[in-house]
Amino acid sequence: MSTNGEAALPNWEETFTAATAEQTHALAVRLAAVLAAGDLVVLSGELGAGKTTFTQGLGEGLGVREGIISPTFVLVRIHPNLPAGPRPGGPDLVHVDAYRLGSAAEIDDIDLENTMDSSVTVVEWGKERVEHLSESRLEIDLHRAIGLGTGLPSAGLDFDTEDADEPRTIVMRGYGPRWPEAPALGAAKEGVR
Ligand SMILES: Nc1ncnc2c1ncn2[C@@H]1O[C@H](COP(=O)(O)OP(=O)(O)O)[C@@H](O)[C@H]1O
Ligand SMILES: [Mg+2]
């Protein structure tokens, strides 16, 4: 299915476990340190999995203007890099929710090409919709880690409130020449794995 040269098979895959929303956020902060203008990040996972939480961590690490929310009605939000942040002069963050966009053609209508070169472009629900935008990408899948060995027989049967911390499994895959190997995410593996 590789039409514009975008890679169909990952170069590597890494799995993390984040026990809390804060750990998901922190992993994203560390990932942001290795991201550069032109990078494309595709986030997948069911509603409430933590895609926006992860994007907020990317925004903090990149030092962009705050206010990252689930872009439910607005499809694209640009968060400009802040001169007083950790990466002055660094990339902006372009945050896209592709949930309502049916196809790659509709993605093209929102003209992400214009901002890609100066931004990190993060697309929730982007799988099979945005791969043609770049020859390289990071795919990040977030899953509720229910049943993965909490040792509690009732795990997964509790009706937690929205915000209650529960573990997430986060799988990262690198595609294309930009990501020949998994980036070193510093303390991520101690703190999160
Ligand atoms: N380990 C975790 N990682 C991420 N979010 C978590 C975790 N545990 C609980 N949560 C909660 O789950 C919700 C995730 O929401 P959100 O990031 O908007 O998901 P999505 O964008 O995938 O729909 C937040 O309320 C967050 O506090
Ligand atoms: Mg979201």
Look at residue 173 and tell me whether its pLDDT is greater than 50: yes
pLDDT given at position 191: 47
Mean pLDDT over 52-70 rounds to 94
The long-range contacts involving 66-71, CB below 8 angstroms and separated by at least 24 positions, are 68/93, 68/95, 70/97, 70/124, 71/95, 71/96, 71/97, 71/124
Predicted TM-score of the model (pTM): 0.88
What is the per-residue pLDDT across 90-141, written as a single tens digit (0 to 9) for each? 999 999 998 888 777 888 888 898 999 999 999 999 999 899 999 999 999 9
d(CA 159, ligand 2 centre) in Å? 20
- The closest of 186, 184, 192, 189 to 168, measured between CA atoms, is 192
Token duo for residue 84: 């007083």
Between 47 and 148, residue with greater pLDDT = 47
What is the per-residue pLDDT across 15-39, written as a single tens digit (0 to 9) for each? 999 999 999 999 999 999 999 999 9
pLDDT given at position 110: 83
For ligand 1, atom 17, name the residue with the nearest CA.
Answer: 50
Token duo for residue 50: 């933590």
Look at residue 74 and tell me whether its pLDDT is greater than 70: no
Look at residue 1 and tell me whether its pLDDT is greater than 50: no
Look at residue 171 and tell me whether its pLDDT is greater than 50: yes
Mean pLDDT over 81-96 rounds to 96
Look at residue 59 and tell me whether its pLDDT is greater than 80: yes
12-179, which class in CATH? alpha beta
**Closest ligand by atom to 142 CA:** 1
Q: For residue 56, which atom of ligand 1 is closest to its CA? A: 17
The residues lining ligand 1, judged by C-beta closer than 6 Å to any ligand atom, are 18, 20-21, 24, 45, 47-53, 70, 124, 162-163, 165-168
3-state secondary structure of 65: coil
For ligand 1, atom 16, name the residue with the nearest CA.
Answer: 50
pLDDT given at position 145: 78
Angstrom distances, CA of residue 149 to CA of 42, 132, 164, 167, 169: 28, 38, 18, 11, 12
**Closest ligand by atom to 47 CA:** 1
pLDDT given at position 7: 75
